[in-house]
Chains A and B, each alone.
Chain A
Amino acid sequence: MEPDTRKIWTRPEVRVDVGRLIAESLGVDEATVTAEAALIADLGAESIDFLDLSFKCQQTFGVDLPMRLIQERRLEWRDLSVLAQVLEARYRLPVAAEDLRMVSPATVGAVLEHLAAKRGVVRAAGDAGEVAAALVSRMLDDLAPTPLDLSGLDVDQLAGYLEKNLHSPEAVEVVMSRLTVHAVTEYLASRLADAGRLAVGA
């Protein structure tokens, strides 16, 4: 079925339908789908639920809910290709992510020690913190086109998590907690507005 891409939506309509679709996809009571509820932490969403929700949103609104984009970004963090790019830019030398994945423990400090030993990178005071901050900055830029609401995120806290553990579950949790019902609603409303399908003033 091709979705109706001519319908003009009002913001309240978007809000109501997003709530309904989330309740359907996740199999939860619609009453629990409050604006501030986080899909994963509060509503128990898992990967298959996001696929279902993405399909339902496409069919209902005719715009994509790019949940797979978040998944792709997470994979890039996990395989350290984003870190490799950050290090390449900082030290102006080619860095292979697969090389970084061999480093143990998976901390920024250990990676920099590895580069110092193997590639002659000169360490400086506070470099691990700076690399972690640059990594966070890059990750947040990468996530900007997704339905995550990243406003007001504690960047220092996030960098602290990643400096100590490049696969930090706390960092993932902090970011994914920004996937709220409100954030999904706003994302879809903005896509509809971009397509000229959100009623003016709605």
Chain B
Amino acid sequence: MPAGSPWGPEATVGDAAPRTVLVTGGGRGIGRAIALRFAETGAVVFVNFFVNREAAEKTAHDVGLRGGVAHLMQADLKEPSEIKRLVAEIKGRAGRLDVVVSNAASGVLRDTLDLSSKQWDWVVATNARALLILAQEASQIMTTGGRIIALSSLGSQRVIPGYASIGVSKAALEGLTRYLAVELAPRGITVNTVSAGAVETDVWQAMPEGTAALAAIRARTPGGALVTADEVAGVVHFLASPAAQAIQGQVLTVDGGYSLLA
């Protein structure tokens, strides 16, 4: 391994420049863990956030402590113009993008029959269309070895009460992953999605009976433990490594075996 390799200790390539990584929704939860994981290998991390600047500033600070370089980027990802601006700013600052982690998500917990079109549009635009626009824009400044990695959840395949808008948006995102993968593969860019099981983040605290739901999921998970944000970040980091070059258009489930059970 060349000294100072931006790919981390597992790498075998000789590119000495630090990798440039965009993590959408990088201020909190899984996004924060991903940003910090890339920071450990000296990456330049663009930490996108929506409204919680305080959390994003803390993540940016911690990226620096872990050996990375952080740039805060506030943007509303449900607006295509905002995504275009975001990528243009990254191009202006770094000239290129090596890894895009489309992690930002928003949701409305409501029964399917009660969803308003406004709520539907909000969730689908934020969770699914954002990946489309991001891929269209970011791929213009990505080269061979580039990575686009999205985050999904089990609600894309299974029915979770009240989760319709998010689940369907994630199903769209997973389908989009396959189409993007085929179109970007000739350019040496891989597109994959990590479908994470329940991770104990502050999102669950905001849900009615969220704590009880997490306890039930933990009890049902074969290993008896919830997946952690760091574990998800580790898988994302692996997908971004040269070792994962042949993994293309896949949805990789990281749930401790939860979804294996009938």
State the A residues within 8 Å of B (CB).
1-2, 27, 46-48, 51-52, 54-55, 58-59, 64, 67-68, 71, 75, 78-79, 98
Contacts and interface: CB of A to CB of B under 8 A. Distances in A.
Interface in B33-87: 50-53, 74-76, 85
Contact of B74 (A1, A47, A68, A75): A1
B108 interface: yes
A1 B108 contact: no
Contacts of A2: 74
B108 A47 contact: yes
Given A48-B108, A48-B119, A51-B106, A64 B76 contact: no
Contacts of B205: 75, 79
Contacts of B246: none
B206 interface: yes
24 contacts: A1-B74, A1-B75, A1-B85, A1-B89, A27-B118, A46-B119, A48-B119, A48-B122, A51-B106, A52-B76, A54-B51, A55-B50, A55-B74, A55-B76, A58-B53, A58-B74, A59-B74, A64-B51, A64-B53, A67-B51, A68-B52, A71-B206, A78-B208, A79-B211
Nearest to B75: A1
Contacts of A75: 205-206
Interface of B: 50-53, 74-76, 85, 89, 106, 108, 118-119, 122, 205-206, 208, 211
A67 B52 CA distance: 10
Nearest to B109: A47
Q: Which residue among A1, A58, A64, A78 has the maximum number of chain B CB atoms within 10 Å of its CB?
A: A1
A64 to B, nearest CB: 7
A59 B208 CA distance: 31
Contacts of B50: 51, 55
Given A58-B53, A59-B74, A48 B206 contact: no
Contacts of A98: 211
Contacts of A67: 51
A46 B110 CA distance: 12
Contacts of B74: 1-2, 55, 58-59
A79 B212 CA distance: 12
A68 B76 CA distance: 16
Contact of B51 (A1, A27, A46, A51): A51
Nearest to A98: B211
A147 to B, nearest CB: 14
